[in-house]
Amino acid sequence: MTPYRGLVRLLLEYSSILWDLITASGSVIIERVQRRFLSYASHVLNIFQPLRDYSSVLHVFGLSTLADKRVDINWKFFRNLISSSVDAPSLLSLINFRILPRPTRITTTFAIPLHTTDYCSNNHIHRMMRLANVHPSFLH
């Protein structure tokens, strides 16, 4: 298990903030690497695995899906960026806080600009602001 975490998973997570996959098909391709390892490990270690369900094997090894891991990495980086633990003023200047002149029902913390293409809407800073808006407990 340690070689997988130290070599394979480390490479799959490397710079995931920048290359976080836009398409579902790209995410499936990356996730397939982990599923193949889990299938092999469950066979070698004789761990029962229901057909096509890897959640029990993930739990046995204390892993999460790579998609969940990418979300966690994005959240941690964004939180560190806002709290000034990461010194990147150029990135911090790209964050748009929503400051309203009076109380309203709008509960989102960040104003995300409208985009006409998927490519622009998946900008790494905008993606992290969208994650923070979806999960308001993110900043607490």
Distance of CA 39 to the CA centre of its chain: 23
Distances (CA, A) of 49 to 5, 45, 58, 59, 65: 20, 11, 10, 11, 16
**Percentage of the chain modeled with pLDDT above 70:** 79
Looking at per-residue pLDDT, the higher value among 7 and 93 belongs to 93
Q: What is the DSSP string of 62-86?
A: T---HHHHHHHHHHHHHHHHHTTSS
Span 93-115, mean pLDDT?
A: 84
Q: Is the pLDDT of residue 7 over 70?
A: no
Task: Tell me the pTM.
Answer: 0.71
Residue ranges per structural domain of the chain: 2-65, 70-139
Q: What is the pLDDT of residues 28-67, one digit of tens each?
A: 887 888 888 888 888 888 887 777 778 888 888 888 888 8
Q: How confident is the model at residue 134 (pLDDT cuts 50, 70, 90)?
A: confident
Q: Any alpha helices (H) in the chain, and if so which ranges?
A: 2-3, 10-13, 16-19, 24-44, 55-61, 66-82, 89-92, 118-121, 124-134
Burial classification of residue 38, based on how many CB atoms lie within 10 Å of its CB (0-12 exposed, 13-18 middle, 19 or more buried):
buried
Distances (CA, A) of 95 to 15, 26, 67, 98, 105: 20, 27, 23, 10, 21
Q: Is the pLDDT of residue 120 over 80?
A: no
Q: Is the pLDDT of residue 11 over 70?
A: no
